[in-house]
Amino acid sequence: MSKKRLGIIQSRGLGDLVIALPIARYYHDQGYLVHWPIAEQFMSSMTQAAPWVKWIPLTVDPGAYFYETPMERLRNFKCDEIICLYQSLSSMPELQARPEFQITKFDQIKYYEAGVPFTHKWRLSECITRNSEREQALKSLVLGDYTGAYCVLHLEGSDHRAEFDLSAIPPEYRVIEVRDQTDSIFDWLGLLESAEVIVCVDSVMANIVDQMLINQTVDSYFIPRSHIQLTPVLNGPWTFVDPGEQVKQRIRVFR
């Protein structure tokens, strides 16, 4: 008997893909062949980390890229079931008409719509294939011969750069800022797990740290940038940082 094909509609961003990856794994473990169209710039990270998914590259365009094009591609692959994981889309007002929209955060609603227990979100370590050679290569590139304590700093979100007062970090710690030094975001895992301090704006790196439970043993700081409904549910013992007046104003406008 051939396996059923499941299609997932969530073409971006990278943080959302990480949040939703345990959903795909849940269905994969049920025997489904998971097909997932995503923005082509995320292909390198996702294909290396989760080769068990049929990743389908999409060229970014301003119109049908979010829903119509992924739906067409999934139908072309003859998917038996298709799940849309978006909380809301401007082209689909019916998503916001759902009764759970007002009481469910954006990551919770993905699991609700998929019928997957929300606790699976923190099973990310079971979903990814780690590459120790790549992790060590990045570690050597970033640290060189340095063997002391260090802080990993991630301040760049998709549309925002956060500020952080480095006086909160012991002066003898080296500060390592996450930059485009690798084509897979998961290559940073080795550095993250060995850090004494991690500082993350609300973005993909914070999701990885939280979902991999790294912040259970590392001093971790979280910088919000969105209204509470658009901020993921966090499981670890984060220290929340004042995001600054500009972000506060944007959050107030959201309301």
- What tens digit of pLDDT does each residue of 58-110 get? 998 777 889 999 999 999 999 999 999 998 888 888 888 888 877 789 999 99
Q: Where in the chain is the domain with CATH 3.40.50?
A: 5-126, 132-254
The pLDDT of residue 53 is 98
In residues, how long is the chain? 255
In terms of CATH architecture, what is 132-254?
3-Layer(aba) Sandwich (3.40)
Q: How far is residue 189 from each of residues 67, 101, 129, 144, measured CA to CA in Å? A: 31, 33, 11, 17
- Give the 3-state secondary structure of residue 189: helix
The pLDDT of residue 254 is 43
Going by C-beta distance under 8 Å and a sequence separation of 6 or more, which residues neighbour residue 197? 150, 151, 152, 169, 173, 218, 219, 220, 221
In terms of CATH architecture, what is 5-126?
3-Layer(aba) Sandwich (3.40)
The pLDDT of residue 246 is 55
Q: Which two tokens stand for residue 163?
A: 């500020």
Tell me if the pTM is above 0.75: yes
Question: Cβ-count burial of 155 within 10 angstroms (0-12 exposed, 13-18 middle, 19+ buried)?
Answer: middle
Percentage of residues in the chain with pLDDT exceeding 90? 75
Omega before 63 within 30 of 0, i.e. cis: no
Q: Which two tokens stand for residue 235?
A: 């499981």
The pLDDT of residue 224 is 93
Q: Is the pLDDT of residue 248 over 60?
A: no
In whole angstroms, what is the distance from residue 118 CA to residue 111 CA? 6
251: confidence class by pLDDT, cuts 50, 70, 90: low
